[in-house]
Structure 1
Amino acid sequence: MTVVTIHEAKTNLSRLIARVLAGEEVTIARGKEPVVKLMPVNTPPQTKRILGTLKGKIDLDAGFWDPLPEEDLALWNGEGSSEAQ
């Protein structure tokens, strides 16, 4: 972890941003006291996703892939309402 003063952060902001985007932790301190941590807006997920982890844990009804009835399909397409108007 890198700790820099506010003055150093203002002087080297572009470099510090590049370091943070490369995965480094940067803390900005007022004097010797840490006050903020510089971090990317979109942090990557901490763990990698593994495909197939729910295999055998979820069962689909036999009719899951059947076409929707016309009435339900019309509702999905925004062509009507199930409530009386």
Structure 2
Amino acid sequence: MTELLLQTVKDTVSDEDIRGFLSRYGFPPFISIERVAGTGIRPAVLLAFHDLQPETLRLLQARIHRVFWNDHVIEAIIVQRPTE
């Protein structure tokens, strides 16, 4: 499964705010969101998408990587999990 990790997303940012931000850049709705606690400066969210090909995710990721949003520069990192 291919997922997207968004770093520097404060835990106070709602799932709906994240969904709205991503939809403005052409992302389909995510199917799950997992909050990842950081060391204080890099809280993150891990997003999974239904039937989104890795090549498409790479194109979309380039649209938001290093974009200033919600008082922080967002870092978008693609995470490849091994298939079982």
The structure carrying a bigger strand percent of its residues is 2
Q: Same fold (TM over 0.5)?
A: no
Question: Normalization by structure 1: what TM-score?
Answer: 0.28
* Structure exhibiting the larger radius of gyration computed from Cα positions: 1
